[in-house]
Amino acid sequence: MSVPFPANRPEFTPAARQAAEQLVTMALAEDFGERGDVTSTLFIDPARQGQVDIGVRKPGALAGLPIVPLVLQQVESSIEWTPRIEDGDRIQPSQVVGTLSGPVQKILMAERTILNFLTHLSGVATLTSRYADLVAGTQARILDTRKTLPGYRLLEKYAVCCGGGENHRMGLYDAVMLKDNHLASMTHSHPEQIVADVRARYEGIQIIVEVDRFEQIETVLGWQPDVILLDNMPPDELLKAVQLRDRQASGVQLEASGGITLQTVAEVAQSGVDRISVGEITHSAPSLDLGFDWHA
């Protein structure tokens, strides 16, 4: 079953745009060095005009289109960019993502940087969409993690949403997440009081507590966190955790995490958990094959 893209497409926020602009600057500096594009400068007449399509080679989900004009702004603002489809669209081979028109020399200078962003982010969106398709019809949603490339977090998390997933916390600043190492190192004898104190201090902040043994769940349910993260639990234990939660604290969401793959995610979702977080969708997504197809 294929998951239709939601009515509200993900927003490419001002913060994401700022991150993209900085990354584009670095990417072009890596390519141009002190001499610029020696090949295009020497062999391509600067007056020559041309047109090229960005074509789809492999099926997937698209992400990263707002970055194309940001590259062009830094390379050659006279290049005209005409997108043909939108971020979040499911794409098939032979489709055209968009068209670039203008000085051929400058388009060639921008080619690799444009494709690097589009293929990477579309790869994230594509892998996310594969996970989302596999849990369709259950109540589980696919979430990302903080396992992102430095500097790319906002862009990769945007791409996750383009693929039909959702974002976990953005960073250490926007949610409380008590993991096993926090709990093992904590000296406070009344963690439930900490949860209450956090809610009083940071209005609306989400509180997540990780457990890695079924025996811990009942105690943590009593703390009334927003989410309990069930780390590396097999499906039969996930099912028991859902049943326990439903009896004792139905308002607490359960999240499965750890070692989940495309082969196991459907069974995990069938347990009744609310959330499934998958690090692979950002840290190991293969690039989606896109390329430049020049007009004759």
The one catalytic residue among 37, 144, 210, 255: 210
Farthest CA pair distance, the chain = 74
Q: Which helix (H) or strand (E) holds 90?
A: strand 90-91
- C-alpha torsion angle, residues 80, 152, 56, 25 (rounded to 10): 30
Task: Please provide the distance, in angstroms rounded to a whole number, between the alpha carbons at the two ends of the chain.
Answer: 39
Look up 212 and say whether it is catalytic.
no
Look up 153 and say whether it is catalytic.
no
Look up 157 and say whether it is catalytic.
no
- Residue 94: CB atoms within 10 Å: 9
Give dist(CA 260, CA 34) in Å, integer. Answer: 45
Give dist(CA 35, CA 66) in Å, integer. Answer: 28
Sign of CA dihedral 234, 237, 241, 242: positive
Give the tokens for residue 161: 């949403």
Give dist(CA 24, CA 59) in Å, integer. Answer: 26
The one catalytic residue among 17, 57, 58, 112: 112
Give dist(CA 98, CA 102) in Å, integer. Answer: 14
Give the rounded distance of the alpha carbon of 295 from its chain centre: 33
- 82 neighbors 112 (Cβ within 8 angstroms): no
The one catalytic residue among 231, 237, 280, 289: 231
Query: Strands of 80-83's sheet, edge to edge?
Result: 80-83, 96-103, 49-56, 290-294
Give dist(CA 112, CA 104) in Å, integer. Answer: 14
The one catalytic residue among 17, 57, 179, 240: 179
Look up 169 and say whether it is catalytic.
no
The one catalytic residue among 17, 57, 146, 147: 147
Catalytic residues: 112, 147, 179, 210, 231
